[in-house]
Amino acid sequence: MITSASGRRWFFILLVLALGGTFLCTVRLGAASITWQDLFFALTGRSEDLSRVERTVIFDIRLVRALAALVIGAVLAVCGAAMQGLFRNPLADPGLVGVTSGASVGGVLYMKLGATALAGVSAVFGSLMLPVCAFASGLLMTVVMHRCSQVGGRTVVSLMLLAGVAINALGGALIGLVLFFADDDQLRQFTFWTLGNVGHASWMKLAVAAPFLLVALVLSLRYARPLNALLLGEAEAGHLGVDLQRVKNTLIFATAAGVGAAVSVAGGIGFVGLIVPHLMRLVIGPDHRWLLPASALGGAILLAWADIFARTVAAPAELPIGVITAVVGAPVFFALLQSQRKTHFA
């Protein structure tokens, strides 16, 4: 573990350099061939030296996809770190607030009923209707979970955890019920969407989701000191002057907004909010002033490389990015559990 301030600064410099290299690789690599020279021309404003196809691939497909992967990865990881600090549980992830299952319910309902029940609205808003329905449904589920976890106007963390489990179970039941009546095309569409794919991103979708993603990122980073105080327990944090109710409400709804926006753009992507904070905590310790920004950088790098593998391993076909993060995340998480077991329980 890096404990010195200078060591942590050097680690952050490495993360920033890795992020820059990852961004360039994300824009360059894929089924269509883009050279480093083409990329240089595009990023330096010399797009007239590129062919029409190369401009389309870089600006309309690769660039928006790279930005979506980086921002969504950062938000998922930093929200995961915030939830782990709020719950004081290293197994917590953003899905505990019910927003992921809620967004999935909204997505599957729109895929099943949107063409008929919302035909007029869909004709106006087009492809934006799916992310809007997913985002609204995710926030609604979070509001229900938050109300269920309140006692006398005070949010109880243990009740919040149980309410989140119940909301996720309810969401799974609703999804199963809708899918039972879905046809083959709807089943295929929902399966691919729920496994995650930043290839769904467009400039319009990203512009709609960006305010919620950025608000979640900024608010989570601002609450580093209260989260540090919560490491001592709620009573001690209260004695130190932390407004516990404000911290809980802000972080819960910031996470709901950020994760809901992420799911609405890219579908369900697991393990990023669970694995990245774990790894960063092992490297730089539990201080959230360092942990939260490190998690944001690490999450962006992880999801961007997962997207690169998803679209290059079986090119020209694409694997769902959620499959890549699960394949990488599950063994890493299991290895972390084994090391912790040997360290703390031997």
Select the CATH number that applies to the domain covering 5-345 from these four: 3.30.450.20, 1.10.3470.10, 3.30.43.10, 3.40.50.1970.
Answer: 1.10.3470.10
pLDDT of residue 117: 60
Would you write out the chain's pLDDT as a tens digit for each of its 346 residues? 787 888 889 999 999 999 999 999 998 887 777 888 888 878 777 777 777 887 888 888 889 999 999 999 999 999 999 988 888 877 777 777 778 888 888 888 888 876 566 555 555 555 677 778 888 888 888 888 878 888 877 777 778 778 888 888 888 898 888 888 888 888 887 877 778 888 878 888 888 888 888 988 898 889 999 999 988 888 888 888 888 888 888 888 888 888 888 888 888 888 898 889 988 998 998 889 999 999 999 999 999 999 999 888 877 778 888 888 888 888 887 877 777 666 655 5
Give CA–CA dist 294/8, Å, rounded.
10
> pTM to 2 decimals?
0.88
Cα-flanking dihedrals φ and ψ of residue 269, to 5°? -130, 115
Report the b/e string of 270-292 with b at 16+ CB within 10 A. bbbbbbbbbbbbebbebbbebbb
Amino acid at 138: G
pLDDT of residue 167: 85
Amino acid at 320: P
Contacts (Cβ under 8 Å, ≥6 apart) of 126: none
Could you tell me how many residues make up the chain?
A: 346
Give CA–CA dist 300/98, Å, rounded.
23
Residue pair 300/67 in contact (Cβ under 8 Å)? The answer is no
Element (H, E) at 71: helix 63-87
Give CA–CA dist 229/248, Å, rounded.
13
What is the distance of C-alpha 7 from the center of its chain? 28
Peptide bond into 316 cis (omega under 30): yes
Contacts (Cβ under 8 Å, ≥6 apart) of 51: none
What tokens were used for 151? 């006692």
pLDDT of residue 252: 85
Find, among 308, 280, 222, 339, the residue nearest to 80 by Cα. 280
Find, among 253, 240, 76, the residue nearest to 160 by Cα. 253
